[in-house]
Amino acid sequence: MARTRKTTTKTTRKTSTTKRASKTTTKAAAPKKTVQAAPAGEVVMKLTHDEIANRAYFKWLAKGKPSGSEMSLWLEAESELKKSA
């Protein structure tokens, strides 16, 4: 009796690697203060719109929400922030 030999064949499967674009969400960053060099070597802080608006808003609330005082409160807030910087 003749012996039969079992042969097995291996099949390799190539897998394709495709890169998928991932969805990224970006959150709005908080406003940053920028530092600029002044001519005399001093450091000047540039105020952001949001910082001035926030200070002016709280000044407006403290004064009883007067109408027609937006510009004066804005300028006061801006001046105070410049002095504190």
Q: Note the pLDDT tens digit of each residue in 27-73.
A: 555 555 554 555 666 666 688 999 999 999 999 999 999 999 999 99
* Global model pTM greater than 0.75: no
- Burial environment of residue 83 by CB neighbours within 10 A (0 to 12, 13 to 18, 19 or more): exposed
pLDDT band at 16 (very low <50, low <70, confident <90, very high): low
- Residue 11 confidence (pLDDT): 58
Contact 51, 31 (CB under 8 A): yes
For helices 49-62 and 70-84, angle between their N-to-C axes, nearest 10 degrees? 120
Q: Taking the CB of residue 52, how many other CB atoms lie within 10 A of it?
A: 20
φ, ψ of residue 36 in degrees (nearest 5): -125, 145
Query: Torsion-angle region of residue 70: left (phi > 0), alpha (psi -120 to 50) or beta?
Result: alpha
